[in-house]
Amino acid sequence: MKNVLLYFLAILIVSCSQQTNSDTTDTKGAADVVDKAELEDRAKLVDDIAYLEGDLSSSPDGKMDPTLAKELIEKSVHYATTYKDDPRSPAYLFRSADVAKGLGMPDKAIELWGVLKKSYPDHQKTPSALFLQGFTYENDFNNYEKAKEVYTEFLQLFPDHPLAVQVKAVLKTLGVPPEELVKGFQKK
């Protein structure tokens, strides 16, 4: 929000200091209107996302309203794809994937975590996104082959990440039925 205010202030200063020559005013005035409109659209989208996040987190029964959740996902993805260089975009993608997962849309969550990994490979949330992809393949789809592929990629990309220890442990027991795991622990 601070950046938005600074940008508006910069536009105001620039527009006040421009010459009144009709040739330059017409060209620069049109660009200022476009920039101002884009900035207003961006600010409104940020406000809408914040409002929706607040509504979802303040539900008295702890359940998500599916309509609000889907709207949040839609607006967050729209923001992230429209403003790819904005530092909020990766966080919006990550949170929208979490909302999709909570809404019972694991395929959408996997897709959004994948977009985060591809578009922002160095972002701090990327390792978690990759881990959650593997976890979702494993637990929601019982697709152990795909889970193994994602977990292996995690270890290749982030071998020193704190989750790497957990990923290594998961890979050792991936696809083993819980009953067999219990029997194995009992034998030890």
Residue 152 has pLDDT above 90, yes or no: yes
Query: Please, what's the largest Cα pairwise distance for the chain?
Result: 88
What pLDDT is attached to residue 88?
Answer: 97
Q: Is residue 20 part of a domain?
A: no
Q: Are 126 and 120 in contact (CB under 8 A)?
A: yes
Which residues lie closer than 8 Å to 158 by C-beta, 6 or more apart? 127, 130, 164
Residues 132 and 90 in one domain: no
Per cent of the chain over pLDDT 90 is 66
Q: Which domain holds residue 166?
A: 124-174
Residues 40 and 71 in one domain: yes
What total of structural domains would you count in the chain?
2
How far is residue 181 from each of residues 12, 26, 174, 187, measured CA to CA in Å?
A: 67, 74, 10, 10
Angle 46-88-128 (CA atoms, 0-180°, nearest 5)?
Answer: 130
Residue 182 has pLDDT above 80, yes or no: no
User: Once rounded to an integer, what is the mean pLDDT over residues 126-131?
Assistant: 98
Q: Is residue 10 part of a domain?
A: no
pLDDT tens digits, 39-76: 999 999 999 999 999 988 777 777 889 999 999 999 99
Q: Is residue 165 part of a domain?
A: yes
